[in-house]
Amino acid sequence: MTETLSPPRPTRLTISTEAIVANRRAVAAKCAASVEVAGVVKADGYGTGGPQAAVAMAADGARTFFVAHVGEGIDVRAALTAAGWTQARIFVLNGLLPGTEETLAAHGLAPVLGSLPEIEDWAAFGRDQDLPLPCAIHVDTGMNRHGLSLEEARALAARPDLVAASGADLVMSHLACADEPKHPLNALQLARFKSIRGLFPDISASLANSAGVFLGPEYHFDLVRPGIALYGGAIVSGQPSPMRPVVGLEATILQVRDVPHGESVGYGARQTVRRTSRLAVLSVGYADGFHRTASGADSAPGGSGHLAGHRVPIVGRISMDLLMVDVTDVPGAARGDRVELIGPHVSLQEVAKAMGTIDYEVLTSLGRRYQRVRV
């Protein structure tokens, strides 16, 4: 069944909810039956639609989800409730902003608390409500981004009354280099997290993100938090993704034009055609999240698309709403044809490499001007 999510537009983004569910199952297959597999649906489900992804995974058995912001959590909660999944847990990774306690509680959202002041404020709010409200405690084990220091975690463990009042039902940390399996920081973070886990023996523990799952069962603990793996992204740096692709991107040809040998193409005249060429103008640009770093130039090739069995390289600088591809070798290429920019012939990883970035940024940059089709 195909559901059209927006009016027809010249560029189409296809999202496979079935593939998201299959990818979560593939992650679960790496884990013991006792390990819960959550779904990270922050950044609007990595650009694929966070509420829709959460509902699909809930229907397949997921009961815990992670978002970054309160607003994301409200949207996911509404979608899950409408679909009948009222008991799902939703953790808000970016913590407790002052004054948001009532909003979190009203929508059944659990903040991930990474500082003692946050924990004290959340515990105080719970006392005012005459019951502890759930949360997670984030401990920094080596990323130096978010979370209690090891010393602060030990100080918290020495205050069991505060831990109980906070309602904490998960202690977690985040791996910095899990996509590099041999990086020494992985083992160091694991050892540190084991020591912290021992301070909170009655609370569930979570360390592994997508790549952490693939480091092995000692990293899994009670709950794993796959994100990019759910959406078809690469797991190990520099290696193809073992997951099913989730998104496909096609752009419509607006015009096919002949360009004489020696003429330049696009803003800045960065690329000159080396033969008399037929160029197709596509209705997609950097305003749609197709970054201009994938532009073609005389000094270096850019990205490419696929049309009718042929690679079609991007020529010249990508502009806000348009880009050009070389269709000289594609017989019959015409206005109205659709060029694949992400799909079975042009992987997400290839596009990210052409843009000089990572899968995450490509996915989360995909804009709102696409016709979004969920299949």
| pLDDT per position as a tens digit, 99-140 | 999 999 999 999 999 999 999 999 999 999 888 899 999 999
pTM of the model: 0.94
In the set 46, 194, 267, 360, the catalytic residue is 267
Give the pLDDT confidence score for residue 5 in this predicted structure.
54
Write out pLDDT tens, residues 241-282.
Answer: 999 999 999 999 999 999 999 999 999 999 999 999 999 999
User: Could you give the C-alpha distances from 79 to 39, 73, 108, in angstroms and in order?
Assistant: 15, 10, 13
pLDDT-derived band at 353 (thresholds 50, 70, 90) equals very high
Query: Rounded to 5 degrees, what are φ and ψ at 273?
Result: -75, 140
Average pLDDT for 203-223 = 98
Indicate whether 4 pLDDT > 80: no
**What CATH number was assigned to the domain covering residues 247-374?**
2.40.37.10
In the set 30, 42, 219, 231, the catalytic residue is 42
Indicate whether 358 pLDDT > 60: yes
E strand or H helix at 207, and its extent? none
Kindly list the domain boundaries of the chain, sorted by start residue.
Answer: 17-231, 247-374
- The answer to whether 334 touches 256, Cβ cutoff 8 Å, is yes
Q: Among 60-64, 219-223, 245-249, 365-369, whose mean pLDDT is lowest?
A: 365-369
Judge: domain 17-231, CATH 3.20.20.10. yes
Indicate whether 10 pLDDT > 90: no
CA distance 347 to 240: 9
User: Could you give the C-alpha distances from 226 to 133, 138, 232, in angstroms and in order?
Assistant: 25, 17, 11
Indicate whether 7 pLDDT > 70: no
- Is 370 annotated as catalytic? no
- Is 46 annotated as catalytic? no
pLDDT-derived band at 8 (thresholds 50, 70, 90) equals low
Residue 38's nearest CA partner among 217, 244, 208 is 208
pLDDT-derived band at 53 (thresholds 50, 70, 90) equals very high
CA distance 179 to 171: 22
Residue 116's nearest CA partner among 133, 139, 132 is 139
Q: Provide the 3-class DSSP secondary structure of residue 278.
A: strand
Which DSSP string corresponds to 308-337?
TTEEEEEES---SS-EEEE-TTSTT--TT-
E strand or H helix at 356, and its extent? none
* DSSP assignment letter at 30: T
pLDDT, mean over the chain: 95
In the chain, what is the straight-line distance between the N-terminal and C-terminal CA atoms, in Å? 6
